[in-house]
Amino acid sequence: MASFCPKCGYKLSMIDIKPECPVCGVNLVYYGMEESLNKEADRAEFEHAAGQPAMDRFKFSTIGHPISIIRMIISILPLVATLAPMGKVAVSLPFFQETTTINIVSIVTKVFMALDIDHMLAMVGSEMVGKAYIFYLVALVGLVGVIITTIVNIVNMMFATAKKGIKRYISTAVAGIIFTVIGTVGLAMWLSGVTAAVPEVFNGTFMVWGTICIILAFVLEIVISIVYLKKDLKVKYKDMSMYLLSYEERKKLQEEKEEVKAEA
């Protein structure tokens, strides 16, 4: 308990055991709590108002405009396109034969699930298939780059209205196309190289449809970004100026509005 009453300044003695001041009657325990709660409310409202512009930009980047919704759908297309077939591999060994269709996801997944660096180095150093496996490593760099740029651009899409957001989105899509070309060339050279070296064991056929799907998806990202820039779309920010005022100021403005409304 305070030694002085916070309201009237009365000096409390040892016999003043009640929660109320014996002079003015104010509750010594809860006095000032309303003011403290108002300050906490002001702080919370201010933090909300300060963070609202970022939320407005995020909303506008994703679902705030029809073009934003179309861009969100297009941003997922490169990820879907990584499932498109890029080749067919037939392996023929004694008591074992297998033919499978490969795509970016299957290639990268198998490599990282059964990562054997020593085996890769041995294949690169092989006189028979060494050159082909150098292209295989090149293909891995390109295909992993495609997956990374695809994921990065999904994130970029969510923050496209930020400063240089559209430029980042376009540049990442361009990087995706470059990685696709690198991965495609490397994959095609690896398939043809290993097939030529050991045709009785390995037969690889390159399929161009996967490459076309991925590049087309990245091109659509660039096109929708150009349309976005041409439209010169602006974020619709929610007015939060009221919440930047103190509790007393907001209360006073509210009372004034109610008075005006009552007079009308």
How far is the C-alpha of 6 from the C-alpha of 31, rounded, in Å?
Answer: 8
- The pLDDT > 70 percentage for the chain reads 91
Judged by average pLDDT, the poorest of 19-23, 76-80, 199-203, 260-264 is: 260-264
Overall average pLDDT of the 174-197 stretch: 93
pLDDT of residue 41: 73
pLDDT of residue 126: 73
pLDDT in tens, 17-59: 777 888 787 777 777 676 777 777 777 777 777 778 888 888 8
pLDDT(2) > 60? no
Judged by average pLDDT, the poorest of 12-16, 152-156, 202-206, 220-224 is: 12-16
pLDDT(173) > 70? yes
Q: Following CA atoms 8, 9, 11, 17 in sequence, which dihedral angle do they give, to the nearest 10 degrees?
A: 50
How far is the C-alpha of 71 from the C-alpha of 1, rounded, in Å?
Answer: 62
Q: Is 238 left (phi over 0), alpha (psi -120 to 50) or beta?
A: beta
CB 99 within 8 A of CB 85: no
Q: Where are the alpha helices (DSSP H) in the chain?
A: 33-62, 66-81, 104-113, 117-124, 130-158, 165-197, 209-231, 247-263
CB 24 within 8 A of CB 7: yes
Greater confidence (216 vs 19) lies with 216
pLDDT of residue 116: 61
